[in-house]
Structure 1
Amino acid sequence: MSDDLTKTHVRKVLEARAAWQAAFTAKVGALESAGRVLVDAGQAGSYGDDGRALWEVTDWRTGKPLASGRGTYEEFIAEFDRLNTDDRWVLIGPVIEEHGEPEYPSTPGLPDGLAKALEEWVEVTAEAEDVAAWTGAPVEYVAQCMREESDAARAA
């Protein structure tokens, strides 16, 4: 087996990640074009002895606080629903979960275990500069491909 197979697979991983990010960015764009606001919401502090915790709702793209309060989980949900009467807010968490993980193509001649190790290397431990130097791809492209889909979409 040659280095060419491993480099080819890493390039395929980068291409698959770029396509995965583009699809997520398109999904986010469609929601925003329809007038929806993507939000991150949830607990912002630990529960007190009274069973209540701080919570907040922020604009996912800007981080701007949209609402905050203190209450039980049920009180938070009720307040979220009250504030979102026009159903414009869309929680980003489920959008990310629904999008799933990137699907990587196989590389004929490359053992599956090695392919998985290379995929994990790109996703988790590699530095963009190292991947770029090893594959010959531009570091800017590699860095962009290595971002999580939500970070890539937020930057778009």
Structure 2
Amino acid sequence: MSNQAHDADAAIREYVRAQLRLDLADETTRTDLITKYEAAGHRIVEGGQEDADSWSITDWRTGELLASGTDGLKGYEAAVQRLDPDGHWIDMDHISSEAYGDDPKEPEPVGIPDSLASALQDWIGSVGTSNEDVAMITGWSVEEVARHRHYA
């Protein structure tokens, strides 16, 4: 193997490792925020407008459908006001924005093209990519990869 090929392999391995470390740090921040909000008595919800008219609100933790309708934004806002008059619901989008920020952080692709870095991000995040495959690239154990890939 040439030095150039070896350098590219090392750069890919380090990029995948850096992305996994970042993913774990982001997920830890998100989990900590959820814990904080729930401990303070907030209910974590998901949903909102699905199209111009349809909307739904679900409990993030249980998946329970709390409300839905086809009466647009006004109907959605009325349901939120009726079901959560004291403002104890926190939308998961808010938590994700708070955890990840408006500009997602990505590791610097040192020694590899940006296009390859983008493809590697997709590959890492794909549920079709096994932890075994990622472990082969990173040199980590399957267990360590699984700890970093909470979503796969």
The runs of 5 or more residues in structure 2 that have no matched partner are none
Find the counterpart in structure 2 of residue 22 from structure 1. 28
Q: Which residue of 2 aligns with 1:128?
A: 131
**1:142 offset after TM fit, Å?**
2.0
Cα shift readout 1:13-47 (whole Å, capped 9, x = no counterpart): 11111111111111111111111111013357x78
The equivalences for 1:141-152 within 5 A come to 141-148=144-151
1:17/1:102 contact within 8 Å kept: no
Equivalent residue for 2:63? Answer: 63
Letter in 1 for 2:82: R
Question: Structure 2: how far apart are the matches of 1:102 and 1:126?
Answer: 22
Q: Greater shift after overlay, 81-90 or 128-137? A: 128-137
**Aligned match of 2:17:** 11
Among residues 18, 33, 36, which one is paired with 2:42 in the alignment?
36
Q: Which residue of 1 aligns with 2:143?
A: 140
Aligned-residue offset at 1:12? 1.4
User: What value does the CA root-mean-square deviation take over the aligned residues?
Assistant: 2.9
**Partner of residue 119, structure 1:** 121
- Cα–Cα, structure 1 residues 134 and 84, in superposed 2: closer, same or farther, change >3 Å? same
Cα gap change, 1:4/1:38 in structure 2, threshold over 3 Å: closer, same or farther? Answer: same
Aligned residue number for residue 92 of structure 1: 92
SS in 1 for 2:48: strand
TM-score normalised by length of structure 1 = 0.72
Q: Given the two structures, how large is their TM-score scaled by the length of structure 2?
A: 0.74
Once the two structures are TM-superposed, the CA of residue 146 in structure 1 deviates from its matched residue by 3.1
With 7-16 and 60-69 compared, the bigger mean Cα shift is at: 60-69
Q: Which stretches in structure 1 are left out of the alignment for 5+ residues?
A: 152-156
Match of 1:38, SS state, is: strand
2:121 is paired with a residue whose SS is helix
**Contact 2:16 2:124 survives alignment (8 Å):** yes
1:16 touches 1:102 (CA, 8 Å); kept in 2?
Answer: no
TM-superposition CA deviations, 1:96-126 (whole Å, max 9, x none): 2342465233365x13424444333323474
Is the 8 Å Cα contact of residues 7 and 135 (structure 1) preserved in structure 2? Answer: yes
- 1:36 and 1:90 mapped to 2: Cα distance? 6
Shift of the alpha carbon at 1:144?
A: 4.1
For residue 86 of structure 1, give the secondary structure of its aligned residue in structure 2.
coil
CA 1:93 to 1:107, structure 2 compared with 1: closer, same or farther past 3 Å?
closer
TM-superposed CA distance for 1:69, in Å, is 4.4
Aligned pair count reads 142
Identity of aligned residues (%): 33
> Which residue is equivalent to 1:154?
none
Equivalent residues of 1:20, 1:102 under 8 A apart: no
